[in-house]
Amino acid sequence: MSSAITARTGRLREPGSDVVVGVDPRRPSVPALFWAADEAARRGVRIRLVAAVQGGPHLMGDDLPGHSARRARAASALANAEDFVRELHPDLSPATELIDGPPVTVLRERAADAALLVLGARRAHRPAEALTEGLVVPSLAGRADCPVVVVRAPEHTQVHPRTVAVAADDTPEGRAAVAFGVREAQMRRARLRAVRVLPPSASACGDEDAARRRLSEFERTWTERHSGLDIVAEVLNGRPVEQLVLVSQSALALVVGRPLGGPGTADRLGPVIQGLLRHAECPVITVPTPPLRADRPPTESAPGLLSPS
């Protein structure tokens, strides 16, 4: 098992090419491994399996209580995860890393040169599980430099047409989500469902008609640019979390935008994304918004949601 990402290939890959999976030493997430292995095979890139072990050897060389046992359990979990990926996709050659350190710190560092960071999530049965997962998953989903895929529920592959859903609005976060969703739908040869959720009061204010016009133009613009892409754009009324959870019930994945990095933790995600991480019924992908370019003053408007560039 190697801690060097180039151990198997002998050379560095282009930054941002690997799919990195956070492996929980206690109980690896099978749905997350499924999703990550399929995605790595689809993209033709390597998959990296990473397990972080909290704590480490004492400065004087003494083993902290239980640390050796935790490392052994993590090593076993990584070996099982590697075997699972190889069996699922024999052409993949997973790299494995066992690292001492806090999971959020370790995985965020690995995400800095990854195409995707994939995390498993499950309903906690014990307070300790709820506390750990409640810290790790939202922190990484809100702070990692690459898109983060949180797999609590499997993708709905039996629903036709196969659909990638995206929360679309005319913000930098919405535009980042749409751009990622378009690529994901193209790779999967799936339909792109772009959804804007408005409160019930929007109809009385005229906001709903304006949103529908914008989404219709969005659908026409992106369809013209990507002639083979099936796009459906729609406006829904109601509470965002409730409506997007309903959308997730028939999706391969639900894509949402978020601010890039920063010192915050779960609070940076906002209540909608936090609610989706807990309740969505398909994988949720949080996509960081590219930082503002130095040549564009903060007061200058960015390209609209409808612009494919």
pLDDT digits (tens, 9 = 90+) for 5-54: 333 333 333 446 899 999 999 888 999 999 999 999 999 999 999 999 98
Amino acid at 84: F
Task: Supply the pLDDT for residue 94.
Answer: 96
Instruction: Identify whether the C-beta of residue 148 lies closer than 8 Å to the C-beta of residue 119.
Output: yes
pTM listed for this prediction:
0.83
Going from the C-alpha of 142 to that of each of 97, 117, 128, 277, 294, the distances in angstroms are 23, 12, 22, 11, 23
Q: Which of 78-82, 202-206, 267-271, 284-288 has the lowest mean pLDDT?
A: 202-206
Give me the architecture of the 18-56+69-151 domain, per CATH: 3-Layer(aba) Sandwich (3.40)
**Residue listed under structure tokens 């499924």:** 34
Enumerate the CATH 3.40.50.620 domain ranges in the chain, comma separated. 18-56+69-151
Q: What is the CATH number of domain 163-262+270-288?
A: 3.40.50.12370
Angle at 220 between CA 214 and CA 224, to 5 degrees: 145
Q: What is the DSSP string of 39-106?
A: HHHHHT--EEEEEEESS---TTSPPPTTHHHHHHHHHHHHHHHHHHHHHH-TT---EEEEEES-HHHH
Q: What is the CA radius of gyration of the chain?
A: 20
